Structure 1
Amino acid sequence: MSKPYVPGQAPALCINNVPILEILSPEEKAEVMNASISKQYTKGEVIFSPGHSSANLWIVHRGSVKISRFSAAGKEQIVRILSPGDFTGELSLFSHTILTNTAEALEPTEICLIQGKVISDLMLRTPRIAIKFLEKYTERIEMAEDKLEQLTLYDVEQRLAKVLLEMLHDQQNDRLENNVLILPVSKKDLAVMIGTTQESLSRKLALFQEQGWIKLVGQRKIIIVDQASLNLIL
């Protein structure tokens, strides 16, 4: 069960970790912090689910969050993985939204919730904030279109190569070894992300290792031995 936040540093750190909000003046940051709370979640805990109403912007302060959507038959599609500094709930800035996705903590996670109305009021007063949110929303649309292209035009090997390279790039600033990838999700979730079964994923990873393109180390660590070859199959 989520734990309510005891007033402290988290809202301030959340705001400073989000590039869109870094451009706020000290007075504007104080306004946002006064409209913020922080909650903690355990691994596997559902943060929100379809049908819930929301008027908040959700920012990951620490940990990671899986945003997914389920079909009527229960099939899962992972929309994206949120890391510290990432946010969701941006539609609440424009209307009182009924949520259609599920958010689940992938590890012990702390979330900062900011009242959407405070951000939308800031956007009206400060156009540069509105432009930043529009840029981020456009980026997410482009990512969704790219994902649709992968699922319809790429085979499983190509989709796996692409997601491994993308994850490696996303972790570029978080590690000392440039060719070491720590999977941010389980193998089961990775299979869902590329639209295949866990068994098929295991076979493809083994094939990549046999080809000398990667080296598997435990459940989550992958050494990318030959990025050029992975790029060539795309």
Structure 2
Amino acid sequence: MSPRKLDKSLIRGLAIFQQMTEDDLDAVLATASVRQLPEGATAFEQGVTATEFFALLHGRLKVVQTTPDGQQVVVRHVGPGDIFGIARAMRRPDYPATATAVVESLALAWPSSQWEPFIARSPVLAMNALQTVGQRLQDAHTRIRELSTEEVERRIAHALLRLVRQAGRKTEEGILIDFPVTRQDIAEMTGTTLHTVSRVMTAWEGKGLVSSARKKVIVTDAHRLQVLAERPE
């Protein structure tokens, strides 16, 4: 699909493209290609040479890093409007993690060699990209602090609240995390085991804090979960 056939009003609605001029937007789209990612497909894999970077138009991806001892860690989730695969901005020759579509997704892709022209073309785009990288770094620091200082139950509560902020949708039952997420995913986000997450989630279900089924999590009492997340050790 040619990028010229994309509806620019939809593209402009994504945070990274907001406030760009028509000429700058046209220039950025001229070197882009459209990438369809069926559920389960990877945009890139850890350790592979970084040949492209991306902006997600629709869907949701999870970024997973495998440690040297084989442990999988969910680093973050990618939502519509996010840029990802920006190894070039980190001065890396390869991708540090694997990005996999958790639902059918659609992205724009650019050659990695276009990263410098990409941000040089538009100061607004450069600022948006810098804010994205800065927020990602801040999130990483927050997770490191949680892993280092917090008990498991608080880490799980914080992880669910982050997912609510990223993709929460109000329903009659509560706030649905609006993409498939499993207890194993939560374990990999919080540095714990599936058994521990299952034990904690089952206890919370009994207390009316959450409701879960296969790949589906609903936070039924966000206030009580927030109180639990912030309680002193």
TM-score, length-normalised on structure 2? 0.84
**1:224 and 2:211 correspond:** no
> CA contact under 8 A between 1:11 and 1:37: conserved in structure 2?
no
Residue of structure 2 equivalent to 1:68: 64
Please state whether the residue corresponding to 1:20 is helix, strand or coil.
Answer: helix
Which range moves more in the overlay, 160-169 or 122-131?
122-131
8 Å Cα contact 2:20/2:124 also seen in 1? no
Of 34, 37, 53, the residue aligned with 1:38 is: 34
Deviations 1:138-180 (A, max 9, x none): 11110000011111111111111112222222234x5455932
What secondary structure, in the 3-state scheme, does the structure 2 residue paired with 1:123 have?
A: helix
**Amino acid aligned to 1:225:** T
**Counterpart amino acid of residue 195 in structure 2:** E
**Aligned equivalent of 1:84:** 80
Structure 1: distance between partners of 2:13 and 2:187:
30
What are the Cα deviations for residues 16-39 of structure 1, in whole angstroms up to 9, with x where unaligned? 243122221111111111101012
Does the alignment pair 1:169 with 2:162? no
Report deviation, 1:47: 2.0
Q: Look up the match of 2:147.
A: 151
1:111 aligns with 2:76: no
Aligned length: 228
5 Å-filtered alignment, 1:164-203, equals 164-172=160-168, 174-175=169-170, 179-182=174-177, 184=179, 185-203=181-199
Deviation per CA, 1:110-155, whole angstroms, max 9, x where unpaired? 2210244445225335433322222221111100000111111111
Q: In structure 2, how many angstroms separate the alpha carbons of the residues matched to 1:137 and 1:197?
A: 29
- Any residues of structure 2 matched to 1:203-218 within 5 Å, and which? 203-216=199-212, 218=213
Residue 82 of structure 1, CA deviation = 0.7
Aligned-partner Cα distance in 1 for 2:39–2:23 = 35
Structure 1's 175 and 116: CA in aligned 2 closer, same or farther, altered over 3 A? Answer: farther
**Corresponding position of 1:16:** 12
Q: Secondary structure at the match of 1:98?
A: coil
Task: Tell me the amino acid that sits aligned with residue 39 of structure 1.
Answer: R
1:98 maps onto 2:94 in alignment: yes
The percentage of counterpart residues that share the same residue type is: 22
With normalisation by structure 1, the TM-score equals 0.84
CA RMSD of aligned residues (A): 2.6
Unaligned runs of 5+ in 2: none
